[in-house]
Structure 1
Amino acid sequence: MKKIALIAASLAVLAAPAFAEDAKTVGTAPAEAKFSTVQKDEMFSSKLKGLNVYNQKDESIGEITDLAIKNHQVDALILSVGGFLGMGEHYVAVSPSSVNVRYDSKDDKWLASMNTTKEALKAAPEFKYPK
């Protein structure tokens, strides 16, 4: 009986936030704060990370693993290239303008392409994360 009472009490405590009032934002934003409206068809970094990059021959040539930001702009896309199951891969930093990222509304997914070859990316200078 004690066990059932303890489980019921635990569930009540966990469920309490679900019945709480909607969270409210309090205070004011500084005068210099700027806000944006985000549209449904805009790209988010969470959708970009892990996106496979294909070349003009429709071959998978790498995967977007990270973004490098400099002066409030995306400076480079970090691609993982040349590996299989995490072995033998290395990273290269490429200009965002060299990767075409687009939304395919017919298939409801994001696509990335680049006009290069696997060999060219494998031969590119390796990007190493700063320590």
Structure 2
Amino acid sequence: MLTKSIAAGLAATALLATAAFAQQPPAATTDKAPTAATATTTSASDQWRGSKMSGVKVYNEANENIGSINDLLMDKSGNIKIAVIGVGGFLGMGEHLVAVPFDKLKFVNEPVAYTSTSQTNPPGRPASTTTTGAATGTDKAATTTSSASKWYPDHAVFNASKDELKNMPEFKYSE
């Protein structure tokens, strides 16, 4: 019992000494090279989180849902080059993955445009409304605070039909 107490005391002392040593101020240098703290920004209100881009719906110019973003692929410099879009399928079954150039996607913060007077509107949307979306482009001045605060766009626009995407070669991750 005494040896367990001594061992626990020695372990705690070692941890405390390590923490105290880690709190030593850094040595003064004469170099004025930028540090990581000065290179980072504290506000990123005009940025989107990559983790939130997965699942963003993709529409064509006719406002038809053609799929959703499954993944983003980047080069070794960190620039996003390819968007992997899932086309077709139901609940992930039978989905066809295609790779499209990322710069061919247009991102829009406003909901998809439609006009309806029936009661078959999407949940949460009143009847007889018109909203804007794919046809409006990517005008950042029209961004509302609610869409800017969610850290991802409402949807993307890619100029192709669902059938054209399904006929593209299937994207496969190499092993």
Q: Describe how 1:36-115 pairs up with structure 2 within 5 A.
A: 36-37=40-41, 38-72=43-77, 73-104=79-110, 105-106=143-144, 108-109=146-147, 110=153, 111-115=155-159
Aligned to 2:7: none
Aligned-partner Cα distance in 2 for 1:108–1:120: 34
Q: Describe how 1:26-45 pairs up with structure 2 within 5 A.
A: 35-37=39-41, 38-45=43-50
Aligned to 1:3: none
Stretches of structure 2 that go unaligned for 5 or more consecutive residues are: 1-22, 28-32, 111-142, 148-152
1:119 counterpart = 2:119: no
Q: Which amino acid aligns with 1:36?
A: T
Q: What are the superposed Cα offsets for residues 32-52 of structure 1, whole Å, 9 maximum, x if unpaired?
A: 865332521211112211100
Give the C-alpha shift of residue 121 in structure 1.
Answer: 0.5
Secondary structure, aligned partner of 1:108: helix
Over alpha carbons, which structure has the higher Rg? 2
Secondary structure, aligned partner of 1:116: coil
Q: Which amino acid aligns with 1:120?
A: E
Stretches of structure 1 that go unaligned for 5 or more consecutive residues are: 1-23
Between 1:80-89 and 1:31-40, the stretch displaced more is 31-40
Q: Which amino acid aligns with 1:55?
A: N
Aligned-partner Cα distance in 2 for 1:51–1:75: 17
Identity of aligned residues (%): 36
> Residue 32 and residue 126 in structure 1: after superposition, are their counterparts in 2 closer, same or farther (change >3 A)?
farther
CA RMSD of aligned residues (A): 2.6
> Residue 88 and residue 39 in structure 1: after superposition, are their counterparts in 2 closer, same or farther (change >3 A)?
same
Bigger strand share: 1
Q: What TM-score comes out, normalization by structure 1 length?
A: 0.68
> Residue 85 and residue 123 in structure 1: after superposition, are their counterparts in 2 closer, same or farther (change >3 A)?
same
Aligned positions, number:
105
Q: In the alignment, is the contact (CA less than 8 A) between 2:81 and 2:103 conserved in 1?
A: no
Aligned-partner Cα distance in 2 for 1:64–1:94: 10
Give the C-alpha shift of residue 83 in structure 1.
Answer: 1.2
